[in-house]
Amino acid sequence: METSTLTIKGQVTIPAEVRRRMGLKPGDRVAFVLGDGDVRLVRQETRIEAAFGLVKPSISLTTEQIDDVIRQRSGE
């Protein structure tokens, strides 16, 4: 069990092992879920993170190929 001390301002440091296992990085948001006599810490994903990987491209293009397609279609 990892522990931390509550500061006078009500802050705690999330232990390094917990941050590592949860994949937390500076700037990440977390939520506190109140239970019956306990609290769970959960990582909050941004909308873009939640959607990441849902759509798989059927083809892969280089930046130059994408620019070519844009130029071709803007002339139509």
pLDDT above 70 (res 17): yes
- pLDDT tens track for 33-46: 999 999 999 988 76
Classify residue 5: in a domain, yes or no.
no
Positive or negative: CA dihedral 18, 21, 26, 28: negative
Does a structural domain hold residue 22? yes
In the prediction, which pLDDT does 45 show? Answer: 74
Segments forming the whole domain that contains residue 30: 16-74
Structure tokens at 11: 């802050």
* Residue 1, domain member (yes or no): no
Q: Does residue 3 fall inside a structural domain?
A: no
pLDDT for position 76:
62
Provide the domain count of the chain: 1
